Amino acid sequence: MIRTGKFAVGLLCSGILAACSLEPNQLQSTSTAHALIDQVIERENVPGLSEQYAQLRKQQIAQVDYKLSITIDKTGEAFSGRVIADTKFRRNLLQPLTVDFAGGEVAGVQVDGNTVPFEYNGQFITIEPKYLEGRKHAIAIDYTHAYSNNGSGLHRFEDPVDGEVYMYTDFEPYDANRLFPHFDQPNLKAHYTLDVTAPKDWSVISSVREESVKANGDVNHWVFPQSKKFSSYIFSLHAGPFTVWEDDADGIPLRLFARKTLAEYVKPADWFKFTQESFAFFQKYFEVDYPFVKYDQVIVPDFNAGAMENVAAVTFNEGYVSRGEKTQAQRMRLANVIAHEMAHMWFGDLVTMNWWDDLWLNESFATYMANLSLAENSEFDDAWENFYLGTKQWAYDADQLPTTHAIQLPVKNTDEAFANFDGITYGKGGSILKQLPYYLGKEEFRKGVSNYLKDLSYKNSTLNDFMGHLGKAAGKDLGEWQQQWLYQAGLNSIHASFQCEGGKIASLTIEQSAPADYPALREQRTQVGLYNMQGDEMVLSKAIPVTYSGASTEVTAAKGEACPQIVYPNEGDWAFAKVTLDQVSVDNMSKHINDIESPFTRLMMWQSLEDSVLDAKLPMDEYVRFALANGGAEQNINVIRMISRHLTGHFMVMSQIDMDASERKALQQAIETFAWNQLNSAAAGSDAQKVWFGTFTSVAHSKQALANAEKLLNGKLTIKGLSLDPDKRWNLIALQNEHLFGDYEKAIKDELAKDSSDRSQLNAIAAEALRPQQAVKAKWLGNILENRDQFKLAQLKYAASALFPTGQQDLYVANVDRIVAALDEVNSSDAPELVGTYARLFPLNCSKEGVEQVEGILNSGKQLNPLLEKALKNRRFRNQRCLDMAAAMNGNAG
Ligand SMILES: [Zn+2]
């Protein structure tokens, strides 16, 4: 799966709890001495599935296959179904058998054709062992279940534009049992035989292609052949009057689906090209043919994540469809998610983790492989720059927060499966997998992965299986590596220290340090880059491979090299470490930033400067002046994206911090003018033009700039090459509303009249919520805190994110008591989506009061929901960091 901008938080395995991640995983062995199957165990009546109970069921059940019949329609509130679970038991059961089934109604249960009594508590069905004597039974269950409206289970969506209905499933980790009663755990893999009764004009999509579709009055009956064997969380059923495109990749039939009203914006040529390139790469890399019979990709509305790797029927968030012309970065994002989900077909779907504690490996691996596939077999030569800009910065940021944690953690139950999913699991996990081939050898790593997939096809595996295969292929014991990287949190810093004599390097060492809370130093292999001016370009004169460990590592191979003007101790970005530049390098970099030949190096230099600002070592105004003086000459789009991101961030921080008012005014005005000039001078139709348009709409605040924005919207002003697609128009409308400029209300109405799509309606909500008016804030707070049942989750998320932009501190202060007062109710809610939305109501508050307020909640003695606690701890940290940045700027740096 790919997560997008969602809070996912949970138990912290830090400090005192460090040992918790070292507990052996006993789930793997079904023959453990203290077998659960010898005990009489009662399943607790709670939502979700515990690891221990899953272990018991693995010991009870030797094999299971499902035959599933489902009837869906356009107008009903519920669907009905019948499932037959052909089950082989390992022996006669001592305990009752439970079948997972959340939130449905059970009409009856039969064992081998005989009706038997059962209990159903809304979470699972219980059958007493006396009805299951013997080793082999067909357990049939007739049931109904409501369609879902929150994106989990079988979700129903009605298109506001044409009234058509679409459905899709989303199951990970534990929602497949909302489609049909079964044993919903990844290590009970099964074959599925499906038939579906559906409205006549609908397509029905699952893991295999249908073998027949027969008309029966005004419905069709779809029959699918038996599937391969896989876990139920990647089984799927999608249906609706989709538009469909077809192609193929090396004989694998490809289809792409989108709902009708979105179809005009879909670029099937891109989707198929990226899909074909990734197939070509993965089949060769893994040396294992694509294991399933066809490959469908379905673009679906209201999707909670980015995408999901259902076997041969992958779902994608509609956010990947742009209603205007995409930038290369947006196209790369699409190529990346396509490759990510495809990598899961092998790693996750063919070979599947035994239990959810290895979910991070699933995701880290797909993250790494997607980028490798792009770098090696696509038009995106800058895939690793993009990885550095996105995934790696996400990971560095997360690893410096007070809520950082080890990558590998125990997962006690399905509720915890995603609790720790954040920049550590995807970002840091993906980053250390990028380092591993460099550490072990590229071909050794590939061979290890390939052998792992071959040996464990259609089976389940653990982290040790994976590490064992890599270690064997490379002839290395990875035990120590695992200890350093998987079981301990924290980000190390590295720093090059060197002396020159007579124009040559006399000594060069890499110094490594660690934060006080996480003192471990680690071993990594990377390169030291030595840079010198040649003519008018700063070029890499030498890259020296080095494996460093401990506090200080001498780089003997550097001795005698020409004295460098810049030393970069993570050349090529192989290591996972924060680079602190030495003073000589900082001075030369500042003088020559635009002379540095390699865009990747420039990217890393700009990030080093930004890190210094965040660490309150470099005053923010100095960075801003440096960026305004040097950023305009930058031509590389990734570096432009980075500078734009930093300037926008600093503009927002300046709205809040205590600083000289005329200084603030001058700097913010300078940023606005810079963005406008860059927008106007960028090449017509270029990606840079689109990036600077985004920057401009984020920082425009003067009367002049707002007037220009309004003229752009009304067509009275045009910029050559800049086409205003609906999403860009909404940016301008949001800006107008945020500043109550012009006829801001009419702008929303007019746009909705032109475009009534669900995306347009969400943008309208955000634009309204941005208005600096107490009545608007009160209305939307009421909707989020009190009347949320009347809204879709997506609507509340849009409103919560827009409600308090950084320039509206006074309105935030006026409303914060009401937000805090709702804490207890939110805290007691078990709906993670509500907690995540609520957490958005604590935006950056860069003041002493802002820090104290969050502190007060954290110290109130309340038992906080873990997700909320994590969000608040990070908020306190960011508020305090912002204060430290302000102090550094005002000359009070400590
Ligand atoms: Zn994934």
Pairing of strands 552-554, 504-513: antiparallel
d(CA 841, CA 875): 11
Strand partners, 410: none
How far is the first Cα of the chain from the last one, in angstroms, to the nearest whole number?
Answer: 43
d(CA 368, CA 434): 6
Q: Where are the beta strands (DSSP E) in 437-503?
A: 460-461, 493-501
- The Å distance, Cα 361 to ligand 1 centre, comes to 10
Extract the tokens encoding 241.
Answer: 């009057």
Q: Is 87 helix (H, G, I), strand (E, B) or coil?
A: strand
- The Å distance, Cα 373 to ligand 1 centre, comes to 15
Q: Given CA atoms 340, 346, 350, 353 in this order, what sign does their dihedral have?
A: negative
- The Å distance, Cα 283 to ligand 1 centre, comes to 18
At residue 510, what is the residue type?
A: I
- pLDDT at position 236 is 98
Q: How many CB atoms lie within 10 A of CB 683?
A: 11
At residue 158, what is the residue type?
A: E
How far from 429 is each of 139, 391, 396, 426, CA to CA, in Å?
41, 10, 11, 5
- The Å distance, Cα 651 to ligand 1 centre, comes to 34
- The Å distance, Cα 487 to ligand 1 centre, comes to 21
Query: Cα-Cα-Cα-Cα dihedral of 793, 798, 804, 805, to 10°?
Result: 160
Extract the tokens encoding 24.
Answer: 């052996």
- pLDDT at position 30 is 40
Helix (H) or strand (E) holding 533: strand 524-534
Exposed e or buried b per residue across 75-108, where buried means at least 16 C-beta atoms within 10 angstroms of its C-beta: eeeebbbbbbbbbebeeebebbbbbbbbebebee
Q: Is 157 helix (H, G, I), strand (E, B) or coil?
A: strand
At residue 864, what is the residue type?
A: L
Exposed e or buried b per residue across 624-643, where buried means at least 16 C-beta atoms within 10 angstroms of its C-beta: bebbbebbeebebbbbbbbb
Nearest to 657 by CA among 811, 807, 812: 807
- The Å distance, Cα 478 to ligand 1 centre, comes to 24
How far from 512 is each of 509, 548, 552, 569, CA to CA, in Å?
10, 9, 6, 11
Q: What is the DSSP string of 182-237?
A: B--STTS-B-EEEEEEEETT-EEE-SS--SEEEEETTEEEEE-PPP--B-GGG---
Q: Is 569 helix (H, G, I), strand (E, B) or coil?
A: coil
- For 795, half-sphere exposure in the C-beta direction (CA atoms, 13 angstrom radius) is 16
- The Å distance, Cα 363 to ligand 1 centre, comes to 5
Contact 689, 683 (CB under 8 A): yes
d(CA 750, CA 332): 33
Extract the tokens encoding 811.
Answer: 């309105």
Which residue has 């490798």 as its token pair? 372
d(CA 286, CA 353): 18
- The Å distance, Cα 200 to ligand 1 centre, comes to 34
- The Å distance, Cα 241 to ligand 1 centre, comes to 27
- pLDDT at position 894 is 41
Residues in the chain, pLDDT under 50: 5-33, 893-894
Pairing of strands 219-223, 212-216: antiparallel
Assign residue 103 a region: left if phi > 0, alpha if psi is -120 to 50, beta otherwise? Answer: left
Residue 212, burial from CB neighbour count under 10 angstroms (0-12, 13-18, 19+): exposed
Close Cβ partners of 617 (under 8 Å, ≥ 6 residues apart): 888, 893
Contact 271, 333 (CB under 8 A): no
Contact 822, 788 (CB under 8 A): no
- pLDDT at position 7 is 27
Extract the tokens encoding 146.
Answer: 């409501």
Instruction: Outline where 755-865 has alpha helix (H).
Output: 758-769, 774-785, 793-802, 809-821, 823-828, 832-839, 848-858
- The Å distance, Cα 418 to ligand 1 centre, comes to 12
- pLDDT at position 421 is 79
- The Å distance, Cα 477 to ligand 1 centre, comes to 28
- The Å distance, Cα 719 to ligand 1 centre, comes to 39
pLDDT tens-place string over residues 3-42: 653 322 222 222 222 222 223 333 334 444 468 888 877 8
- The Å distance, Cα 615 to ligand 1 centre, comes to 32
d(CA 341, CA 310): 9
- The Å distance, Cα 231 to ligand 1 centre, comes to 15
- The Å distance, Cα 62 to ligand 1 centre, comes to 28
Q: Given CA atoms 461, 467, 473, 477 in this order, what sign does their dihedral have?
A: negative
d(CA 583, CA 754): 57
Which residue has 């000594």 as its token pair? 507
- pLDDT at position 9 is 27
Instruction: Encode 30-59 in three state secondary structure.
Output: CCCCCCHHHCCCCCCCCCCCEHHHHHHHHH
Contact 334, 314 (CB under 8 A): no
